[in-house]
Amino acid sequence: MNPGHKGTLLALLVLLGVSAEQLIGAQEFKPNYDEGKVPHYTLPDPLVLNDGTRITRATQWWTRRRKEILRQFEINVYGKAPGRPRDQEFIERDVSKKALGGKAIRKQVSIFFLKGRAGPHLDLLIYLPRDAQKPVPVFVGLNFHGNHTVNADPDIAITESWVRNSEELGVTENQATAASRGKNSSRWPIERILERGYGLVTAYYGDIDPDYDDEFKNGVHPFIYRGFQNHPTPDQWGSLAAWAWGLSRAVDYLETDRDINKRRIALLGHSRLGKTALWAGAQDQRFALVISNDSGCGGAALSRRRFGETIERINTAFPHWCCGNFKNYNERENTLPVDQHMLIALIASRPVYIASAEEDLWADPYGEFLSAYHATPVFELIGKKGIPSGQKPEISRPIMNTIGYHIRPGKHDVTLYDWERFMDFADIHFKRGTTAESK
Ligand code: GTR
């Protein structure tokens, strides 16, 4: 193709709403959106041990199978992460009892991971309903462009971390400015969340690790390097695992805050941050409820379906997201000892909600639903209700068992409809006392 035509084609694709990231290295990649072309596949059985023995009792899930599956995800998909840093410190930077027109308590807390406050730190932004009885249940979720983008509140600190340049958000030279205040507020209906009696805790994912491939030089990855090591080994954390690790560090703080109900911490994430939320929730049982919104490949969607985004496509466009070993499964999904229904199963017996959008074919809505369905035998083994039938769900007809699911009309996004259902789901489970510790 002559370069002029190529430029026109790229411009056209951008006009059609194909994101720049989907274009990177995507010249050769043609996603399959035809259900008839989904390959025949057999899923690994979450209730069969690595040695071939079928488990039949809940105790075997807790003592044996859950550990095996966690380990498989760790070494083949997301990579091993370290634990809680010994010298972690929490610094309360701001408390206001009169935020958002007097409706909210706002706190801003910085989490420093290393001694002497060296290295990157994570800034939490917390809103709690001022008049609700404390401690309150909270939703926790990472955001894409900085805390100051979730609401126009002028007192939210602007992140100093690396931010992707964006004309729309007024970001140049990878530094956020006041121009992006409140720009993502449609995804964070804070006033409504407070009205329904919940608090919101958010933090910028780039505080933990900037989302671009730099061979793991910046962000928290160097924390684990030993001796001359300057790159994670093939089974050590990629960026998704680092962001998930950051979410657990946020809980380290939340557990110390008396205004927050530490047994009612719901975790949610959208898209790549939905993948992150599922992996964080799978590992850290302090998250009492987990929500994935449009998380797609590497999140809730079954990899073996190869519908929309695939493992190879993710490893090409975002080589830093998963661990090195994940690249062994490019175009070889059937050799992976896990599939994503087992990630959902790891959240049992805690409630887990999967949300899809009808037009978000790149994320394979039906594959997201099927993961929830195929995780169901694990939930049933431990006495909980999952998804009763594998039939394609109807649009806007949410299912709310211990596994929940909805598909709404529209595009890849987080909408008020999604949030209302997440809060309905949390209302059901938190009021009935289904919590992390009641398994
Ligand atoms: C896309 C990526 C998806 C999803 C999405 C997002 O480009 O292919 O896996 O994570 O980005 O995070 O918005």
Residue among 164, 205, 271 to mutate when testing ligand 1 (max atoms within 8 A of CB): 271
Burial track 227-262 (b if 16+ CB lie within 10 A, e otherwise): eeeeebeebbbbbbbbbbbbbbbbbebbeebebbbb
412 carries an active-site annotation: yes
Using CA atoms, how far apart are residues 24 and 317, in angstroms rounded to an integer? 6
The β-bridge partners of 54 are 48
**Residue 412 Cα: closest atom of ligand 1:** 13
User: Which is nearest to 150 in space by CA: 429, 425, 419, 426?
Assistant: 419
Taking the centre of ligand 1 as the mean of its atom positions, its distance from the CA of residue 417, in whole angstroms, is 21
Residue among 321, 362, 411, 412 to mutate when testing ligand 1 (max atoms within 8 A of CB): 362
Is any ligand 1 atom within 6 A of the Cβ of residue 411?
no
CA nearest ligand 1 atom 10, residue: 272
Task: Say what the pLDDT of residue 28 is.
Answer: 83
Domain boundaries, the chain: 1-30, 74-429
Is any ligand 1 atom within 6 A of the Cβ of residue 271?
yes
**Residue 297 Cα: closest atom of ligand 1:** 9
Is any ligand 1 atom within 6 A of the Cβ of residue 143?
no
HSE, CB side, 13 Å, CA atoms: give it for residue 419.
Answer: 23
Length in residues, the chain: 439
Would you say 93 and 109 are in contact if contact means Cβ atoms under 8 Å apart? yes
Is any ligand 1 atom within 6 A of the Cβ of residue 21?
yes
Taking the centre of ligand 1 as the mean of its atom positions, its distance from the CA of residue 274, in whole angstroms, is 10
Is any ligand 1 atom within 6 A of the Cβ of residue 297?
yes
Taking the centre of ligand 1 as the mean of its atom positions, its distance from the CA of residue 301, in whole angstroms, is 13
Taking the centre of ligand 1 as the mean of its atom positions, its distance from the CA of residue 24, in whole angstroms, is 12
Q: Which of 271, 292, 356, 371 is catalytic?
A: 271
**pLDDT digit string (tens) for the chain, length 439 residues:** 444 444 454 444 444 444 544 555 446 899 999 999 999 999 999 999 999 999 999 999 999 999 999 999 999 999 999 999 999 999 999 999 999 999 999 999 999 999 999 999 999 999 999 999 999 999 999 999 999 999 999 999 999 999 999 999 999 999 999 999 999 999 999 999 999 999 999 999 999 999 999 999 999 999 999 999 999 999 999 999 999 999 999 999 999 999 999 999 999 999 999 999 999 999 999 999 999 999 999 999 999 999 999 999 999 999 999 999 999 999 999 999 999 999 999 999 999 999 999 999 999 999 999 999 999 999 999 999 999 999 999 999 999 999 999 999 999 999 999 999 999 999 999 984 444 433 3
**Residue 21 Cα: closest atom of ligand 1:** 7
Taking the centre of ligand 1 as the mean of its atom positions, its distance from the CA of residue 400, in whole angstroms, is 26
Cα three-residue angle 25-29-34, rounded to 5 degrees = 150
292 carries an active-site annotation: no
Residue among 318, 340, 361, 412 to mutate when testing ligand 1 (max atoms within 8 A of CB): 318
HSE, CB side, 13 Å, CA atoms: give it for residue 408.
Answer: 17
Residue 121: C-alpha distances to residues 22, 90, 115, 208, 305 (Å): 30, 10, 11, 7, 38
Is any ligand 1 atom within 6 A of the Cβ of residue 19?
yes
Q: Hey, which CATH number is domain 74-429, 3.90.650.10, 3.40.50.300, 3.40.50.1820, 2.40.50.100? A: 3.40.50.1820
Burial track 64-93 (b if 16+ CB lie within 10 A, e otherwise): ebbebbbebbbbbbbbebeeebeeeeeeee
Task: Say what the pLDDT of residue 413 is.
Answer: 98
User: Which is nearest to 75 in space by CA: 233, 245, 230?
Assistant: 233
